[in-house]
Amino acid sequence: MNQHDAIQAVLARHGNDGTRLMQILRETQEALGWLAPETLTAIARGVNWPRAKVEGTASFYSFFHTRPLGLYRVLWSDNITDRMLGSVELMQAMCQKLWLEPGRVSEDGLVSVDATSCTGMCDQGPAVLVNYRAVTRMTPERVDRMVELIRSRTPLADWPQDWFRVEDNVRRSDILLGNDMVPGDALRACLARGTESTLNEVKAAQLRGRGGAGFTTGLKWEACRNAPGKTRYVVCNADEGEPGTFKDRVLLTRQPDLVFEGMTVAAYAIGASKGYVYLRGEYRYLLESLNSALARRREAGLLGKNILGRSGANGGFDFDIEVHLGAGAYVCGEESALIESLEGKRGVPRNRPPYPVTHGFLDQPTVVNNVETFAAAALIALRGGDWYKSFGTPRSAGTKLLSVSGDCERPGIYEYPFGVTVQQVLEECGAGVGTGDTQAVQISGPSGITLGPDEFGRRIAFEDIPTAGAFMIFDLRRDIFDVVRNFIHFFAHESCGFCTPCRVGTTLLKNLVDKIAGGHGTRSDLNEIHNINRVLQAAAHCGLGHTAGNPLAHTLEKFRPAYERRLKSLEFEPAFDLDAALSQARQMTGRDDAGAHLANELETPR
């Protein structure tokens, strides 16, 4: 098929609908390798959108490329947990073997190697994406073999299938992961109960959103149901982008029916007939299995027209679900940015009010909930709110999935009733065994909270430490400054760029942290960090910006020596770094020996 036909086939599959631009761009790129200028022009014409708007979307997402990036594109997951497992050295080795610089495509157009934000394989890293397919547990041997396979242009289908194996690593199950619900049972219970009473059960369960913010699910559903609109939508937020989080991947692998059933319960309660799962691009490999699960449900009468054989006139309803893939943008985990992306646009958070429950997808009332929230809702629909509320604490009902990674013997998924202490989790996952004591735990990812040992008695619960589920462990061998630096680089990379403070502020923070890392930091830089962080907290447009400075603020408070031992003793440090300014000359002459650097004793950190 030639290029033109390939593009037209994709456009036809999506009805030339611009709101489906994300899927159109992804499928076109899968067919053609990249999104060339003339490809974007053809797509723009096809969906009847201004070309610049199409280019705006295409250039927003990390996984769309508007320049050729090789037949093979290898992206190394750059979460701190991957780094702790040796990803930086492995990526360097790969680049050397391929004669490549990170981010650059090889001269023969064969391959490019780069870093990408956490791919959600923290319990089985170091992880890479090869042409957007997940490969786990990289080793030096795998790097060698992969380089050979790339050089010999071996198709991915002929690569060792074991490399693409993704483990669930479920270490502790409770009511959610241990459930044995027969698909359809929760829906049968709903239909027997009626919409009003279904909503009441979810309210009675005091279920709160599992994505981190913790809004009461029943109230969200009720507000959506009561909002005026032509139609209503149910959206499942599976854009699990918070570094260190991977529980939604496991839920969608092991319990897709439970998640879909929860979405269908929501649809029944609010009166929606269409639902979307917004699946992060990193989980592309799950698309086929999710689509077959949906097909099975349609065949079983659990999706589609007249669910469970009950027509609308007979108190029944219609509902169907579609999986929509993201393309590498953390900010799309924010619900209004997710909706923008679902509409084919740049993933920029909207101004609020209005909120998605009244003006969401295509401006219609929309419920957006996390994967785990829908799974819990299905159980509530089956067993009732009182049953669910009997787990957890009085203010945090039910259980929580934790994605445990970092320095411990048994990384993976742990399901606990709310109220579990950090200490108990550390003990059960084997933290610090044989490697020294645990120095810190990062809960809920970079945007969450850094805890030191004196806080390990605190509890996972909305009233103490709310979390989306990430639980990264750092023992005494780790340098907390490296952890923070990784997090700040992440935020600078993932800022959508809409508002001034986040767009510029995260880059300024990144530069300051790099300056300190290079041994050029001074005390005034720490004040500067505080100053920028205060502006981010006060003026940023969304949660990404509000929390981007958290890791710095928390660790400056709790782990200040990690910074101070890097600072110069000088009162004054020129901002201009003469040695760094010579880096281009070094690159051009291919030199990196001691004589090519301006060394002096002042540049050695204390």
340 φ/ψ angles, rounded to the nearest 5 degrees: -55, -45
Q: Does 531 bind another protein (CB under 8 A)?
A: yes
Instruction: Say how many residues touch another protein, by CB under 8 A.
Output: 45
Residue-wise burial string across 78-107, b where 16 or more C-beta atoms lie within 10 A, e elsewhere: bbbbbbbbebeebbeebbebbebeeeebbe
**513: contact with another protein by CB under 8 A:** no
If binding is defined by CB under 8 A, does position 527 make contact with another protein?
A: no
Question: 256-270 and 371-383 helices cross at what angle (nearest 10)?
Answer: 70
Q: Distance between CA atoms of 39 and 55, rounded to whole angstroms?
A: 10
**Which ranges constitute the DSSP H helices of 471-605?**
480-494, 500-517, 523-539, 543-547, 550-558, 560-564, 578-581, 583-589
Nearest distance in Å: CB 465, another protein = 23
Q: How far is the CB of 50 from another protein (least distance, A)?
A: 4
Query: Does 578 contact another protein by CB under 8 A?
Result: no
CA distance 310 to 317: 7
Q: Is residue 3 a contact residue for another protein (CB under 8 A)? A: no
- CB atoms closer than 10 angstroms to residue 137: 16
**Cβ distance to another protein smaller for residue 255 or 547:** 547
Q: Minimum distance between the CB of residue 208 and another protein, rounded to whole angstroms?
A: 22
In whole angstroms, give the CA distance from residue 534 to residue 527.
Answer: 11
Q: Quick check: 217 binds another protein (CB under 8 A)?
A: no
Q: Per CB under 8 A, which region of 220-228, 279-287, 516-524, 533-541 contacts another protein?
A: 533-541
**Of positions 505, 521, 549, 551, contacts another protein by CB under 8 A:** 505
Mention every residue, 6+ apart, whose C-beta is less than 8 A from residue 535.
501, 505
- SS (HEC) of 228-279: CCCCCEEEEEECCCCCCCCHHHHHHHHCHHHHHHHHHHHHHHHCCCEEEEEE
> Cβ closer to another protein: 37 or 140?
37
- 278 to 317: interface string for another protein, x by CB under 8 A: ----------------------------------------
Nearer residue to another protein within complex by CB, 36 or 223: 36
Q: By CB under 8 A, is residue 228 in contact with another protein?
A: no
Q: Is 589 in the site for another protein (CB under 8 A)?
A: no
CA distance 421 to 235: 32
Nearer to another protein among residue 479 and residue 514 (C-beta): 514
The reply to whether 523 sits near another protein by the rule CB under 8 A is no
C-alpha to C-alpha distance for 428 and 268, rounded to whole angstroms: 39
3-class state of residue 457 by DSSP: coil
> CB of 506: closest distance to another protein in angstroms?
7
| Coil, strand or helix at 442 | strand
Please tell me whether residue 575 binds another protein under the rule CB under 8 A: yes
Q: According to CB under 8 A, which residues from 48 to 107 bind another protein?
A: 50-53, 55-56, 59-62
Taking the least distance from each CB to another protein, the nearer of 122 and 329 is: 329
Contact with another protein (CB under 8 A) among 16, 41, 131, 306: 41
Residue numbers of the site for another protein (CB under 8 A)? 37-38, 40-41, 50-53, 55-56, 59-62, 329, 346, 351, 353, 492-501, 503-508, 511, 531-532, 534-535, 537-541, 575
